[in-house]
Amino acid sequence: MDLTSIIGEAAPRQGHKVLFKEFLSENVVRMRIEAALIAKERRPGQFIIIQTDVNYGERVPLTIADANTEEGSITIVFQTVGKTTEELSHFEVGDYIPVVTGPLGRPTHIEKFGKVVAVGGGIGLAPLYPIIQGLKAAGNHVTVIAGARNKGLLIMEDEMRAIADEYIAVTDDGSYGRKALVTEPLKEICENDKPDMVIAIGPPIMMKFCASTTKPYGVYTLVSLNTIMIDGTGMCGCCRVTIDGKIKFVCVDGPEFDAHLVDFDNMLKRMGAFREQETEAREHTCRFRKALKEMQEAEN
Amino acid sequence: MPRFHEDPQILNEKAVEILKGLTAKEKITPKDRMDIPVQKPAVLDPLQRSKWQDEVEKTFTPAQAVVESNRCLQCKIPNCVKGCPVNINIPGFLAAAAKGEFAEAVAVIKQSSLLPAICGRVCPQERQCQENCTMGKKHDPVSIGKVERFLADWDITNNTAPMETAPDTGHKVAVIGSGPAGLVVAADCRRAGHEVHVFEALHKLGGVLRYGIPEFRLPKAVVDSQIDSLRKMGVHFHTDYLVGRTRKLEDMMKEDGFEAAFIGVGAGLPIFMGIPGEDLIGVCSANEYLTRANLMGCIYPGINDTPMYRSKKVVVLGGGNVAMDSCRMAKRLGAEEVTVLYRRSRNEMPARREEVQHAFEEGIHFCFLQNACEVHGDDKGRVKSVTVQRYELGEPDQSGRRSPVKIEGDTYELECDTIIVAIGNKSNPLLTGATPGLDVNKKGNIIVNEETGETSIPGVFAGGDIVLGAATVILAMGEGRRAARGINELLAKK
């Protein structure tokens, strides 16, 4: 029986193939996805926007953690914090992510500063990695301060150690490295051996305190902001932040800004604009996934 | 069941009666034509439609379209054509439509305008073709836009043959941006036989037609059908492709074999008021509000993932079409009270007259000669009210409109939870900044040759809002036609 006319030819899959996936911790995923053009153009500090559904999905910015131009792939590292990242964590090798746009944002300005301290908190360690690579290649002495809530969430240690001149690990609960916040070793370094530049990427509250730590020492400090975005090309203005009293768009003017000029308090508030809706959506998805799993188990 | 202002069936029956009368006559005199009452399309009931996304105004029935076309006096010097930014042969298509020869009428329109289903819906006809209509001096002007829309819709359902294209020339053209200007260039260049690739930064095609203009004013099925007709002609579309970032324009021209490119990326960088409190939660640009609703599907709550502001009391700042779209959308998404603050008076409003009328009917409050001057928030950083400043009209300014002058000390507080800023857009520097050698003016708009639309980079053309600053769909299309002509002439020499 010839069913070709009914089945038809397989339409070419739309989107970007997942080439590799691993869990770095319970809710942190590293994924390598096919994106030849983005791999070629991306520079440290830039991000992409992904959607898990082209019709109804939301657009979520994720920083590019690495790229391979030969393979034509980029690496993203993300934590499952909302509905879309939760969905994305269920994509398997061979699946296609329907929308991947980028690279977006301005690349990190990399030059030989001298002594650089790179502070990464939690998932912020992922976007920090390509920047450290770039800084190292430009001839800087790089000290990494890696912080996380606990040992399980402290990601990419081996990669960091391989390129950094110094590596300091801190955890909130002391389950690994020093029991401290990232600002403690940062303050010590500023006091004893003042760096020429600091770059801090992590939760907004961490970046805020890194900024206030380095400010008295007059150390030039960069932070990479991850505000709410839609298009990521400057069109909607949703991601706007106040920098030195002026409105700036994180997607086109950033994502990196002089930490001492950022109005963090306002940014922290704005990032919670849709918290209620986000929580509902996340819970809905988790309930759905759980029900699905139960159904599958029941069938088996 | 949809309810209407006037029963569509009765509207049609009236038209049929008039038509019977006209066909009984041996010759229709200008007097007869002037006696024909202006035809009105069926319009959804305001109370009902302000909760729906359905298109507010329905298309003419065939009888209505023929009757309305018969109102045209076929002036020797057609002033209407002068008022049309793309100079459609209006008496030409109305004459054909008056005889019921719809296919011919469509062909006449398509000589000048390639996207009539869109123009018929979104053009400000009252300030273009219909403003100059001779009939309009004593009676209502001929509803040119509504006939155009009928013909375009008739064409979509009855004529599925793709537009003819010249034999392949082997030349490649890149069109950057899939908004109105880009779509027109794609069609014109493809008709000339070139291989055309359209690059869109977003995940869906259509630019402002998709993310900006709402479903109730321009159904997305109409946009889809116009894009589909381009696909059938052989135009290639690429979404999620941000020229300047995903790939540099220079590389596309040098390595990807594009011999000409058209930049039609629009004016996408929203302007804010610059008033205190604008960074509070609940203040957003109209671009953001409409993008969430239209492009990201917040008009389908429960299915889509993108969150939307849960607004009860909304204030919209501005008096243009975008402001009208925003206030009417807010109403449809469940806001109880929607207020438009416009710092001039109703006469100066740049919005299409019909949209203002529709907004009024839907229960939007209008506060003229008023503007926001400070936004106040609660302890969580959410908007709770706005201070409104009153104005009076002074001397005419450069735009010819009487400029508003502040009445010192005359302010009041207006309670609200959402403020939508719809006061215009600046040019987006993303592509221009990433393209060395591309000359822009002080405002960041691309400078082009007035004859051809060519930019300072040979082979690269531009048009639409990125050249004009924020303007209308039809002006963007006019710009696109000019650039397409420029491109086709350039490629003909190669």
- DSSP string for A143-179: EEEEEESSGGG---HHHHHHH-SEEEEEESSSSSSEE
Determine contact, residues A277/B307, Cβ cutoff 8 Å: yes
Looking at residue B37, the DSSP 8-state letter turns out to be: P
Assign domain A16-104 to its CATH superfamily.
Translation factors (2.40.30.10)
Cα–Cα distance measured from residue B109 to residue B87, given in angstroms and rounded to the nearest whole number: 10
What the block records as the tokens of B404 is: 């508003």
Touching check for B380 and chain A: CB below 8 Å? yes
What the block records as the tokens of A112 is: 């030989």
Span A246-251, mean pLDDT?
92
Check CB contact under 8 Å for B291 and A231. yes
Check CB contact under 8 Å for B281 and A273. yes
Touching check for B248 and chain A: CB below 8 Å? yes
Beta bridge partners of B314: B338, B418
Cα–Cα distance measured from residue A81 to residue A39, given in angstroms and rounded to the nearest whole number: 25
Share of chain A above pLDDT 70, in %: 96
| CA distances to A91, B175, B300 from B203, in Å | 19, 16, 18
What is the Cα gyration radius of chain B? 23
In chain B, the residue whose alpha carbon lies closest to the alpha carbon of A39 is B246
B27 φ, ψ (degrees, to nearest 5)? -135, 135
Question: Containing H/E element for B195?
Answer: strand B195-199
Q: Which residue has the higher pLDDT, A11 or B263?
A: B263
Beta bridge partners of A199: A118, A222
pLDDT higher than 70, residue A12: no
Looking at residue A226, the DSSP 8-state letter turns out to be: -
Pick the residue of A60, A235, A284 with the most B CBs within 10 A to test the interface with B by mutation. Answer: A235
Query: Of A263, A268, A259, which is closest to residue A222 (Cα–Cα)?
Result: A259
Cα–Cα distance measured from residue B285 to residue A58, given in angstroms and rounded to the nearest whole number: 18
A104 φ, ψ (degrees, to nearest 5)? -115, 165
The pLDDT of residue B374 is 94
Residue identified by tokens 């008022």 is B83
Residues with Cβ within 8 Å of B298's Cβ and at least 6 positions away in sequence, in order, are: B292, B304, B306, B307, B308, B333
Nearest to A236 among B281, B285, B304 (CB): B285
CATH number assigned to the domain with residue range B272-421, chosen from the 4 options 3.40.30.10, 3.30.420.40, 3.50.50.60, 1.10.3720.10: 3.50.50.60
Confidence of residue A11 (pLDDT cuts 50, 70, 90): low
Span A92-114, mean pLDDT?
92
Chain B contacts in chain A segment 31-70 (CB below 8 A): 37-38, 41, 51, 53-59
At B59-85, the pLDDT tens digits run 999 999 999 999 999 999 999 999 888
At B159-197, the pLDDT tens digits run 767 778 899 999 999 999 999 999 999 999 999 999 999
Cα–Cα distance measured from residue A49 to residue B296, given in angstroms and rounded to the nearest whole number: 14
Identical topology for domains A16-104 and A115-226+233-270: no
Domain coordinates of chain A in residue numbers? 16-104, 115-226+233-270
- Mean pLDDT of all residues in chain A? 89
The pairing of strands B313-317 and B337-342 is parallel
Q: What is the CATH number of domain B8-158?
A: 1.10.1060.10
The pairing of strands A166-171 and A141-148 is parallel
Looking at residue B292, the DSSP 8-state letter turns out to be: I
Chain B contacts in chain A segment 107-136 (CB below 8 A): none
Asked if residue B41 has a cis previous peptide bond (ω within 30° of 0), the answer is no
Touching check for B255 and chain A: CB below 8 Å? no
Q: Identify the top-confidence range among A148-157, B107-116, B296-305, B411-420.
A: B411-420
Cα–Cα distance measured from residue B407 to residue B391, given in angstroms and rounded to the nearest whole number: 5
Touching check for A184 and chain B: CB below 8 Å? no
The pLDDT of residue A4 is 58
Share of chain B above pLDDT 90, in %: 68
Span B255-276, mean pLDDT?
91
Question: Containing H/E element for A292?
Answer: helix A275-299
Determine contact, residues A54/A90, Cβ cutoff 8 Å: no
Q: B30-44, B282-296, B397-411: which has the minimum mean pLDDT?
A: B397-411
Check CB contact under 8 Å for B310 and A99. no
In chain B, the residue whose alpha carbon lies closest to the alpha carbon of A272 is B281
CA dihedral angle for residue B173, residue B178, residue B179, residue B183, rounded to 10 degrees:
50
Touching check for A252 and chain B: CB below 8 Å? yes
Touching check for A286 and chain B: CB below 8 Å? no
Query: A-chain residues within 8 Å CB-CB of B310?
Result: 276-277
Share of chain A above pLDDT 90, in %: 62
Cα–Cα distance measured from residue B338 to residue B334, given in angstroms and rounded to the nearest whole number: 10
The pLDDT of residue A3 is 61
Q: How far is B298 from chain A (nearest CA, A)?
A: 9
At A141-177, the pLDDT tens digits run 999 999 999 888 888 899 999 999 999 999 999 898 8
pLDDT higher than 60, residue A10: no
Identical topology for domains B172-268+425-492 and B272-421: yes
Cα–Cα distance measured from residue B351 to residue B393, given in angstroms and rounded to the nearest whole number: 19
Q: Where are the alpha helices (DSSP H) in B313-386?
A: 321-332, 353-361
Q: How far is A232 from chain B (nearest CA, A)?
A: 9
In chain A, the residue whose alpha carbon lies closest to the alpha carbon of B302 is A281
Cα–Cα distance measured from residue A80 to residue A28, given in angstroms and rounded to the nearest whole number: 7
pLDDT higher than 60, residue A1: no
Query: B-chain residues within 8 Å CB-CB of A270?
Result: 279, 281, 381
Q: A4-8, B245-249, B303-307: which has the minimum mean pLDDT?
A: A4-8
SS3 B25: coil
Cα–Cα distance measured from residue B483 to residue B467, given in angstroms and rounded to the nearest whole number: 11
Residue identified by tokens 């590292």 is A77
Touching check for B85 and chain A: CB below 8 Å? no
pLDDT higher than 80, residue A246: yes
Cα–Cα distance measured from residue B478 to residue B112, given in angstroms and rounded to the nearest whole number: 9
CATH number assigned to the domain with residue range B172-268+425-492, chosen from the 4 options 3.20.20.70, 1.10.3720.10, 3.50.50.60, 3.40.50.720: 3.50.50.60
Q: Which residue has the higher pLDDT, B116 or A13?
A: B116
Q: Which residue has the higher pLDDT, B472 or A19?
A: A19
Packing angle between helix B220-233 and helix B180-191, nearest 10 degrees? 30
Q: How far is A169 from chain B (nearest CA, A)?
A: 35
HSE at residue B361, side-chain half, CA atoms within 13 A, is 18
pLDDT higher than 90, residue B314: yes
pLDDT higher than 90, residue B356: yes
How far the first Cα of chain A sits from its last, in Å, is 32
Confidence of residue B5 (pLDDT cuts 50, 70, 90): confident
Checking ipTM against 0.95, whether it exceeds it is: no
Share of chain B above pLDDT 70, in %: 100
Topology, domain A115-226+233-270: Rossmann fold (3.40.50)
Cα–Cα distance measured from residue B480 to residue B184, given in angstroms and rounded to the nearest whole number: 6
pLDDT higher than 70, residue B440: yes
Please report the number of interchain residue pairs, chain A to chain B, with beta-carbon separation below 8 angstroms. 127
Domain coordinates of chain B in residue numbers? 8-158, 172-268+425-492, 272-421
- Mean pLDDT of all residues in chain B? 91
Residue identified by tokens 């109209």 is B286
| CA distances to A1, A22, A30, B475 from A26, in Å | 48, 10, 11, 54
Span B348-355, mean pLDDT?
89
Determine contact, residues B479/B181, Cβ cutoff 8 Å: yes
The pLDDT of residue A279 is 82
Query: A-chain residues within 8 Å CB-CB of B301?
Result: none
Check CB contact under 8 Å for B268 and A240. no
What the block records as the tokens of B168 is: 């392949």
Pick the residue of B306, B326, B420 with the most A CBs within 10 A to test the interface with A by mutation. Answer: B306
